[in-house]
Structure 1
């Protein structure tokens, strides 16, 4: 079967469970429940990734409460749909869906994207197409995990990064996610990078994205762990340093305590680039950086987000 019908039944949070039971009793299979409340709970339970959630997705989920199921797009399938919907008066819509859409339909949302003055983020399936003159390509598999370059916080951090990377520098990427920032730094000329993320799944993802860019493990190391609580990991990173650039595209509640120990990672005069900061907390983060001996060099803002560049001062 190559063609399917996606059947969407509108409902409410309160009615969803009852409606799902009725659809199941009527023979509907493979129900997909989409609920803004559940989506927000997921975000709350995974706060370390919330800054990577695409703004358009947040908007699409606003007020959503619906159930989807799928039937073959033929006479028999339409009969199955009619039976599943018997006695149900909720609004219903249908959309044709080809089999390849199951695996590849989401790719249409990811197109090559110019970022800053020098960067060009390219989904892996667009490899081989021309890269604009003067721009450096960064190839990613957006389906792997968070961190595709589409979020304002990531773009701001890339904007700060591209003007500061020079050859022979070492880079530390804290909260590396997909590896987009550290891979970009290596593509721009950094000699070596280390990525760290609290999610073990990010390790394999970052390595895969590095491989897409021709970067091997001789130049790129990724570790799982929490630099705020794992003293052994911190010591390991310190021994592997120092780093001319330290990146942290995370959240304010992590950047603020991190600012107290980032000097341990930075080379003298090194630069700390932090993003993922809601603009209403930017002054609070800047104050924490300055309190811990960092000099603010640059501040970028976009769409309610802020990124800061700071330089390591002399100890004491």
Structure 2
């Protein structure tokens, strides 16, 4: 079978929204080629550093690659993708060069090639993300493994925003906490919450493909008795108060439901948000404070920020 490889030269800020656009138009996964990976300091435990070839990366900006079937619907999908990416400017998202190239490839050329970028990664004190095709043995008794297949849905679990959210969850989740994961994607934050001891997790996503993928990952990690995955728009029609709400979504979307998050949290409950590029940190902080939250932590990784607020 033939496939069309779409390569978009953009910015780190635009990685998540463009990836979501590609996912919406039928891409089952994306490859991110960010030159920052070449100089990033990390533990030399799994050997992943040696698989990074500088020739695969642009000198500036970020390359985002996705694959769609080479059929009579491709040109229409490409047109929609281009229009949606251009629309991101309306949300003050820097899309950089926005150069889009298309190349025809055979299935055997791409189906497994992207896997060289994805290896077991320890992203917090306890949690290690492990791709389903890799064999991995925990190196400590309290290590928590989360198995993911990033080909199923947007979200490998290793993006800085996800890492920041999981590190925050690891600090605050208590036994039997009730957690809501808004915009669950691959389900990784819900799975992490459950494995950290939460008593119940509600995972919401508007996209049906993400819902199905999260369900598969939840079952794969054997936390389906704790995590309930549902199709829902943000916190619309959600009744009751919970202990923690976590959301790894773009800053523009976070701003839409901060008040709803306050309504759905118990007094003293925590709101953990990431997906926030650093130049939009102050805007989100201001609105979270206005909604009645005390800021108990902000942390930055690369150009991304997580904010943890306590509802008072």
Q: TM-score, normalising length from structure 2?
A: 0.70
Distance 1:286 1:48 in 2: 29
CA displacement 1:136-156 (0-9 Å, x = unmatched): 111111111111112111111
Matched, 1:195 2:231: no
SS of residue paired to 1:143: coil
Aligned pair 1:310/2:309, yes or no? yes
Gaps of 5+ in 1: 1-28, 71-96
Unaligned stretches of 5+ residues in structure 2:
25-29, 35-56, 65-96
Report the counterpart of residue 131 of structure 2 in structure 1: 123
2:253 is the counterpart of 1:254 = yes
Alignment partner of 1:154 is 2:162:
yes
Distance verdict in 2 for CA 1:207–1:31, change over 3 Å: closer
CA distance in 2, matches of 1:263, 1:64: 41
2:8 counterpart of 1:36: yes
Alignment partner, residue 293 of structure 1:
292
Output the CA distance in 2 between the equivalents of 1:45 and 1:104.
21
**1:66 to 1:261, Cα distance in 2 relative to 1, 3 A:** closer
Post-superposition Cα deviations, 1:21-75, rounded to whole Å, max 9, x if no partner, equal: xxxxxxxx947354537998992983999xx9746387235756353455xxxxx
**SS class of match (2:229):** strand
Aligned to 1:223: 230
The change in CA–CA distance for 1:65 and 1:227 in structure 2 (over 3 A counts) is closer
Measured in 1, the distance between the counterparts of 2:246 and 2:152 equals: 21
Residue deviations 1:84-135 (CA, integer Å, cap 9, x gap): xxxxxxxxxxxxx9x5x554333222111011222111111225x2112132
Counting matched residue pairs gives 245
Kindly report the root-mean-square deviation, in angstroms, between the aligned alpha carbons of the 2 structures: 3.1
Q: Structure 2 vs 1, CA of residues 201 and 265 (structure 1 numbering), >3 Å: closer, same or farther?
A: same
TM-score by length of 1: 0.69
CA shift in 2, pair 1:105/1:35, >3 Å = closer
Whole-angstrom distance in 1 between the partners of 2:308 and 2:197:
19
Q: Distance in 2 between matches of 1:45 and 1:138?
A: 22
The corresponding residue for 2:21 is 46
User: Radius of gyration: which is bigger?
Assistant: 1
